[in-house]
Homo-oligomer: A and B are copies of this chain.
Amino acid sequence: MNNFEFYNPTKILFGKGQIGNLAHNIPAGSKVLITYGGGSAKRTGLLDSVKEKLQGYTVGEFGGIEPNPTYETLMQAVKMVREEHYDYLLAVGGGSVIDGTKFIAAAACYTKGDPWEIVAKRAKIEKAIPFAVILTLPATGSEMNDGAVITYKEKKTKLPFGSELVFPQFSILDPVYTYTLPPRQISNGVVDAFIHVMEQYMTYPAGGTLQDRFAESLLLTLIEEGPKALANPQDYDVRANLMLAATMALNGLIRIGVPQDWSTHMIGHEMTALYGLDHAKTLAIVLPSLLEVMQNEKKEKLLQYAQRIWHADEKLSEAEKIAFAINSTRAFFEKMQVRTYMKDYDLPKEAIGEIINNLKAHNMVALGESKKITPEVVQEILNRAYQK
């Protein structure tokens, strides 16, 4: 097992009606900016009930944070925070709103230059505005971690940043809020969480037997509950397990002491930046082909995965077990209504070259746990991922 540090001070308030605990977790006298996305928080009445709970606070609103939140949009909020002296942020939404709010929190306090430096140059964050989250969409885990991914639209660039200063102070996770989500968002969320786990699990054995089992717990839960969530949108326990699994998939717990991959995400980010494809869809396209290409490097873990997750027949050969596991993974994504080939989304063949050029431009030329995923390997992966 590798050495590690684990630290996660975000308080989770989980369950039906937890919004009742909103106000007494925000310091009295705060001037609160509520941040949200495209309007569903407004339509469902959630925004109104949040404001009602915040009686006694000075409250402002910043809506319109888009999926794959952009620097361009977020800087408008930064201006607002600075000019109107907000000292607490409250993100109401899913991963994009939360990620965007993390950027706002850090950027508003970053006065040494253009806040994009926080992302592009990994400039050190020395201060951030405290913030909390009301989660409406289980998927990214952003509600309980200190990372975010921001897109600079003009530059067609999507990059991550992180800092212990952008852990949410608390996050309210009420599964009931997810009842009204469109099926597409549930599908994406389950696939996203599943691949978050895979990025931290599907590498090589490193002696972390407990971490492996925790990761497998999450995979099994997502496989079991994901299809049920599509079939029975109002099954509370199903939604609760999904919400909890998505949070645990990326709150630092399962990555402790083990190698990580993340190449599927890096390739996927370029696909979203260039073609606007949903994050989860890009991951579902990349992962199965990546596992095929990297199966020698990942052999031991793929065999473990084949056995513990997909219960591969003992009598199969190793190669057959691995193929079975990868095919089962692809079939699970398709069952979750997420297609797994570029052509399914009408991407042009030239996309492959453009994605690779973007990866090179971002200096991502040696990806994965062993840094073996060069542009040539990405080419091979995407050739397989193009069509069946």
Q: Which chain A residues have a beta carbon within 8 Å of chain B's beta carbons? A: 1-9, 11-18, 207-211, 213-214, 216-218, 220-221, 224-225, 236-237, 240-241, 244-245, 248, 253, 256-257
Contacts and interface: CB of A to CB of B under 8 A. Distances in A.
Given A213-B220, A218-B210, A241-B209, A236 B1 contact: yes
Number of copies: 2
Nearest to A2: B15
B208 A241 contact: yes
Nearest to A237: B207
A213 B207 contact: no
A241 B210 contact: yes
Given A8-B8, A9-B9, A217-B217, A14 B210 contact: no
Contact of A221 (B15, B209, B237): B209
18 contacts: A1-B15, A1-B236, A1-B240, A4-B12, A4-B14, A5-B11, A9-B9, A14-B257, A15-B257, A208-B241, A210-B248, A211-B244, A213-B216, A213-B220, A213-B221, A240-B257, A244-B256, A253-B253
Given A210-B221, A241-B210, A18 B3 contact: yes
Contacts of A253: 253
B4 A245 contact: no
B213 A217 contact: yes
A207 B214 CA distance: 18
Contacts of A220: 213
Nearest to A164: B11
Given A14-B257, A213-B217, A244-B257, 11 more contacts: A1-B240, A5-B11, A7-B9, A207-B236, A207-B240, A207-B241, A209-B225, A209-B241, A211-B244, A214-B217, A217-B217
